[in-house]
Amino acid sequence: MTNAPSNSANFCYRHPDRQSYILCQRCGRTVCTDCQTQAAVGVHCPECVKEARASAPRTRPAIVTALRSGTRSGTNQPVVTWSLIGITTLVFVLQILPNSPVGALGTYYPPFTLIMPWTMITAIFLHGSILHLLFNMFSLFIFGPILERLLGRVRFIALYLISGLGGSVAVLLLSPQTSVLGASGAIFGLMGAFFVIQRGLGGNNTQILLIIGLNLVSGFLIPGVSWQAHLGGVIVGAAVAFVYARTRRRDQGTVQAAAVVGIFATLVAITLVRLFLVS
């Protein structure tokens, strides 16, 4: 249960009881998942779709019609979330094969950052055990679809990957001799983002705050768990979500993209400073 937010702009213009963070790319109306039609960039509301169809030529190639109807029927599906779960599971299968190099090539070990910089991201697709994988994928299954539908696919994947990078940067800063793997940093980023968005909508944050707190504390108490990655992920995820929440208008798209790129660039800069000036 959540309290009704005071800002009506956070509700679908056709369904006032449904919260949404997605705007029509043509008119700027807030639209829920049932009112969205996927476009080449972003989504369109029903009115803009009708207007576009009315002004378009009457005869269209059959393939265009088929693609449009297929896209519309699949608009509500959290494709990125299911893809991340599938890719991560596949990587784990490859990882446990005999003599597989996947683990060695993808695990993040801070002293090798300059030699293998890609591991700061690839580590979030690796896991140390089946339980580790199941726990993280279950968390992604819970938070992923909600955030993907609220933010849109591009914003969601950016949030996930940058949060994972934030977890790796935190490990580099706070535990530079520890090798890490797992999606926990990215998952905590989703939790941090959910907290910020829920707060922006005026909802009750007690439950998500409790979940974040318990998971952070468990990282300190359970051996082998990287609390550093958790902390970095939740901070970066909250920062990215804050940018999304503050730049929702259609005319703020450039500002939003620049701010998210700025967060990514800041993480890269912190990494370089740590490697070249502190070492």
Catalytic residues: 184, 230
Element (H, E) at 44: strand 43-44
Structure tokens at 122: 């690839």
Task: Give 133-194 as a DSSP string.
Answer: HHHHHHHHHHHHHHHHHHH-HHHHHHHHHHHHHHHHHHHHHH-TT--B-SSHHHHHHHHHHH
CA distance linking residue 127 with residue 134, whole number of Å? 9
Nearest to 260 by CA among 246, 240, 245: 240
DSSP string computed for 116-128: -TTHHHHGGG--S
Positive or negative, the Cα torsion across 223, 138, 102, 235? Answer: negative
Contact 105, 116 (CB under 8 A): yes
CB atoms inside a 10 Å sphere around CB 136: 19
Backbone angles phi, psi at 28, to 5 degrees: 85, 5
Instruction: Determine the Cα–Cα distance for residues 80 and 237; give it in Å rounded to an integer.
Output: 17
